[in-house]
């Protein structure tokens, strides 16, 4: 598992040649989300998996939405960035269905304020599961956030239920470049381990 987690990196240099048939990639994405945890097992995560021209269509929606708000002088750079995401083989749109979230709020008023937060946690877990699963299959991906800018047009294009809230977009494809070295902050800053005898005796 840790090996798989370590394989996951942000890949911006995406190509269209997948190492697996699209149907298998689709199945992997579904399985990864299906087996991701959710608060009270509410299974609130949803996904729209776009391949080929449908993925291009999404990135054109993002491009046009950005054209409306990015200063004209900066738009060429923005559009080039979007080209990079569209150069992949597909895109996963991650959603959280607010229906089950609302039902939990109604059924458990004591935790009502927590369910939207836990729904955000659940989508993060689903995203990590998909990203790591794709990486393990030799497929590169990155994590993008063009919502709420793209929400209305995306919902119209793929007939997305009104209760689905877009939380992330993951363009994926072949790895067309290596990954830069990743540095890590000191363990002393991040971690405290308490009460483990074996670690204490190692330090002594
Ligand atoms: C919650 C979250 C939000 C992120 N948002 C973006 C994003 O909007 N655009 C992007 O290019 N990368 C985004 N990333 C990717 C991070 O920049 C990246 O994971 C980090 O720099 C570490 O690099 P690595 O993915 O290669 O390990 C996001 C990552 C997380 C966990």
Cβ–ligand 1 contact at 125 (below 6 Å)? no
What domains, with CATH codes, occur in the chain? Answer: 2-203 (3.40.109.10)
Q: Closest ligand 1 atom to the C-alpha of 124?
A: 1
Instruction: Give the DSSP letter of residue 130.
Output: H
pLDDT digits (tens, 9 = 90+) for 43-63: 999 999 999 999 999 999 999
Distance (Å) from CA 27 to ligand 1 centroid = 24
User: Quick one: pLDDT at residue 201?
Assistant: 57
Q: What is the pTM of this model?
A: 0.96
Helices and strands of the chain, counted as H and E runs: 9, 5
pLDDT of residue 196: 86
Report which protein residue has its CA nearest ligand 1's atom 18: 10
**Tokens 């090996």 found at:** 3
Closest ligand 1 atom to the C-alpha of 128? Answer: 31
Q: Which residues of the chain have pLDDT under 70?
A: 199-204
Cis bond upstream, residue 148 (ω within 30): yes
**pLDDT tens by residue, 102-125:** 999 999 999 999 999 999 999 999
The pLDDT assigned to 1 comes to 87
Query: Using CA positions, which residue lies closest to atom 15 of ligand 1?
Result: 143
């Amino acid at each position: 598992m840790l090996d798989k987690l370590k394989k996951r990196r942000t890949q911006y240099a995406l190509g269209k040649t997948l190492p697996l048939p699209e149907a298998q990639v689709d199945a992997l994405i579904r399985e990864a989300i299906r087996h991701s945890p959710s608060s009270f097992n509410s299974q609130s995560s949803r996904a729209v998996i776009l391949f080929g021209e449908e993925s291009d269509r999404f990135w054109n929606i993002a491009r046009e939405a950005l054209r409306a708000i990015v200063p004209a002088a900066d738009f060429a750079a923005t559009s080039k960035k979007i080209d990079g995401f569209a150069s992949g083989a597909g895109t996963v749109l991650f959603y959280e269905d607010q229906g089950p979230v609302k039902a939990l709020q109604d059924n458990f008023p004591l935790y009502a304020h927590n369910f939207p937060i836990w729904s955000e946690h659940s989508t993060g877990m689903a995203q990590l599961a998909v990203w790591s699963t794709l990486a393990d299959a030799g497929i590169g991906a990155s994590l993008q956030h063009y919502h709420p800018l793209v929400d209305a047009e995306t919902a119209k294009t793929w007939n997305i239920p009104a209760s689905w809230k877009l939380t992330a977009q993951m363009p994926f494809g072949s790895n067309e470049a290596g990954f830069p070295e990743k540095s890590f902050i000191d363990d002393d800053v991040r971690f405290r381990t308490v009460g483990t005898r074996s670690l204490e005796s190692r330090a002594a």
